[in-house]
Structures are given as structure tokens and as C-alpha cells.
Amino acid sequence: MSLKLLLVSIDGTLTHDGKICREIATDLGRLVRQLEKRGVTTVLWSNRNWMVGDVPMRQFFSNIAGVDVPVHGSGVDGSPARVLQNSAAPILERYGVQPHETVLVGGMSDDMRAGVQNQLILVRPDWYAQQMEYGFPVNSVGELARFCFVFALREHPIFWRVQHGNLDISAGGPFSTNIEKFAVFGGDARAFAKHGQGHPDFWFYFTVSSLYFAGLLQGINYICSYPGHTPNSDPDKHGVAATLTRLGKCFGKSYYHDLLIRHSEAPKSQYTRAAERRFITQLNSICLQRKPHRNLSDQPNKTNLSLAGKRVLVVDDFCTSGRSSEAARAFIEAAGGQARLYSWLKTINTPYQEISPSVALNPYAAAAFTVDPTSTSHGYQVGIIDHHAPTEIQSIFDQFCAWTW
């Protein structure tokens, strides 16, 4: 469940204005050599049969990289044109990899279309200049290397997950600031979520890599985030919404920051004693919006957004007892949809409380429950699917903070 294939566009990555950039080629060759040692195959992808002088691109770049770097494309080996749907499938099949084990590197408009058509995450090289707004930008080959080695080669993208009936909730890691082995990254996550401090870029890419490499983006129709605890919360708090918008665009999936809205204030669960936590605190303070704003647009949808038969990925920062996540799921299911729930971190030693059976409500109106719904408890330990994830998170956090290349 980590990077196995780096699919590199030639135009705008190795070449600029049709000419090879030897400095960039040398840096990329070094990255290819290092990735090859970690079991990652790199191939070049272009509709054009490139030559460097009278030398074929495959020979030229393979000599620089010191390993064989094949070239695929419609003008090279008869592969489908890159902008066609599933055009990368023959390449992925050849190397025995899945889409979520592949990263596409490219900065041109055709790369954006190729990424969407093949459901591949797009890392956008801006080392010549920004060519478009799509994709996750890297300003140097060193930044691309950081993305690959720190985030894309994670072997344990998901730490905790509960799947039970319609419930599907997962978290990238454990949350605690008191347990030493979790305290550093847990404290940094809290500093970012509360104050925009710490290392925001780390948590952006942590979230993106967890969702992508764990395959959690497969089969979803929309992405949304859980609202803040007050009605006037910043819709793009600390840039999280912008990151999720960018992620959604990679796959042609719309992000709606205000699909779930907070119509009245609710206390934060991590500051509420366990015995005083209630589902109705969340159920009575959120609802769905019929015409939410797509991809942080200034204007709302012109027509109602139907969730009937759709799967919505709901992203939150922390999961404590799950009552916020369950409220989101209740409203989405009441509108005829399905929810896939994800949080950066799950509070340790706190069971997840699933609303069971489901509750009847109008998903587009304020609810007024007076009695908490019944629930089923899922133990914290039972949900742990990868005990190695916390050690890996601390390791990549340290690598990120001290990164040199």
C-alpha cells in the first residue's frame, strides 16, 4: 500500500520549451536511482517519441539515471493516448501495480487530464514555472524526493479502522500528548488544528497520502470536511479545505466545505468529560445544505446536490468517541447517501460509539432530539489494524522536519 510506480511526464518535467534540461535530468536521475533501491519503478510517459539529438529519450535518460527507464506512450509503443480514460491501465498492468500505488508527475494541462482519467494523484513540478493550478506543487526535485520518501513510501497509511454494517471509519494514527511515543506528532497535530502552528504541510501531505495510498479515495463521489464548532467557523481553516479541494480535483471529485453546516454552537468533545458526551450535541447543531459551494467557489450550486446513491468522504482532524463522525453519517444516510469517515488521528483508549439503530431525521433541517440515540461501542484496541503505524509516523515526521537532499 505504498508507491511502486513513478509515472513521469517528459514535457514540462524533463524538458522545457521542447529542450532537455540537463541539470533537472541529472537530479531526476539521482532520484530514480534512489527509488529503484526502494523497489520503485520509474517510467516516462508521453504521446511523443522524444529524441535528445539523435539519441532516443530512453537511452539518454537511462544513462543518466544508471538504471533502465522505459518510455511508454501512443507515439512510442502504441499505448492509448494519455488523455483517454484508463489510458494508463496497460502500463500499470505491465508493472503489476494498482492506481493507488502510482504517482503521476507532470505540470501540463494534458497531465491534469491524464491524472483525472486514470484516477492518479498528480504531483506538479514547478521548477520551470507554474504551468497550471492543478496537482500538488513541488518547486524542486528535492521537494519531489521529499514527497516520495517521506509520504509516498509509507508502509502503514492507516492505523485504526472500524467497518461494521454501513459504518466505515478510519484514522491515520493515534492521538495523545501524554504518551511519549505519540506526544511529538500528536502535539504538532493539535497545534496545527487549533492554531495553524506546527508543521501544516506535514499534515496536509499526511492526510493526502493516507487517503490515497490506503485506497480510501476509490469509489467516492464527493469530499467534505466536518464543520467547526461554531456557525461562523472559517470554511478554509488553516488551508485544510484548499488541500482537500486540490485532492478532489486530481480525481474529478468535487469538494464541498459546507455540505455539512453548523447552525448552532457545540462544545468540543475532547474538552468534555466522557460521561457528559452526547450524540444530540452534534445531531442538534448540524445539518446538510442543499446547495453547497463547490471547490470553495464564491457562488453556491445552482441546483440541489443529491446524495442519493452517492458515497461521501468526510474528513476531520481528530476522532475522540466518534459522536461527530456519527452525526455526519446520520445526516448523509438520511439523504440517501453513504459516508466514508476519516480522521487524521484517533484518541487513544477511547471506544468508538456507533449510532445503532439509525435515527430518523430531516437531513436539511435542524434536529431537536431530546434523548440520545442508542449506540454500539467498538473498543479502541479492536480497531487497531496496524501497530507499526505510530512508529512510522514519528519517523516520517522527523524526516520531514530535518529533510535535506
pLDDT 10s digits, 138-148: 999 999 999 99
Give percent of the chain with pLDDT exceeding 90: 94
Specify whether 139 is located in the same domain as 216.
no
> Is 73 found in the same domain as 55?
yes
Spatial separation of the C-alpha atoms in residues 178 and 183, rounded to whole Å: 6
What per-residue confidence (pLDDT) applies to 272? 62
Please report whether residue 396 resides in a domain. Answer: no
Check residue 369 and give its pLDDT: 96
Residue 30 in this model has a pLDDT that exceeds 80 = yes
What's the pLDDT at 274?
61
CA dist list (Å): 152 to 146, 149, 163, 266, 277: 9, 6, 25, 36, 37
**How many C-beta neighbours within 10 Å does residue 43 have?**
20
* 226 in the same domain as 373: yes
**132 burial type by CB count under 10 A (0-12 exposed, 13-18 middle, 19+ buried):** middle
Domain assignment of residue 209, yes or no: yes
- Considering the domain architecture, whether residues 34 and 119 belong to the same structural domain is answered as yes
Query: Residue 398 domain-assigned?
Result: no
Rg (CA), the chain: 22
Same domain, 120 and 209: no
Position 331 in a domain: yes
* The last residue of a domain, from among 103, 130, 152: 152
Does any domain span residue 403? no
- 275 and 378 part of one domain: yes
Report percent pLDDT > 70 for the chain: 98
Q: Which three cell numbers stand for residue 131?
A: 504551468
Q: In which domain, by residue range, is 165 found?
A: 160-390
Number of domains in the chain: 2
Question: Are both 328 and 284 inside the same structural domain?
Answer: yes
pLDDT in tens, 314-358: 999 999 999 999 999 999 999 999 999 999 999 999 999 999 999
In this structure, the answer to whether residues 230 and 83 fall within a common structural domain is: no
- Considering the entire predicted model, what is its pTM? 0.95
What mean pLDDT is predicted for residues 169-192?
97
Q: Verify that 144 and 204 share a domain, yes or no.
A: no
Residue 138 · residue 363 · CB < 8 Å: no
> Of 152, 177, 196, which closes a domain?
152
The enclosing domain of 281 has a CATH number of 3.40.50.2020
pLDDT at residue 267, as a whole number: 72
Domain holding 93: CATH number? 3.40.50.1000
The verdict on 124 and 235 lying in the same domain is no
Other Cβ atoms less than 10 A from the Cβ of 357: the count is: 10
Helix (H/G/I), strand (E/B), else coil: 158: coil
- Residue 181: inside a domain: yes
In the three-class reduction of DSSP (H, G, I as helix; E, B as strand; rest coil), residue 203 is classed as helix
Residue that finishes a domain, picked among 120, 152, 184? 152
Q: Give a yes or no: residue 315 inside a domain.
A: yes
- For residue 388 the three cell numbers come to 507499526
User: Could you give the CA distance from residue 345 to residue 56 in angstroms, rounded to a whole number?
Assistant: 48
pLDDT of residue 236: 84
Q: Is 397 within the bounds of a domain?
A: no
**pLDDT tens-digit map of 258-298:** 999 999 998 765 556 665 789 999 999 999 999 999 999 99
Shared-domain flag, residues 134 and 231: no
**Residues 97 and 23 placed together within one structural domain of the fold:** yes
**Phi, psi for residue 75 in degrees, rounded to 5:** -90, 0
Instruction: Give me the residue label for grid cell 511502486.
Output: 4
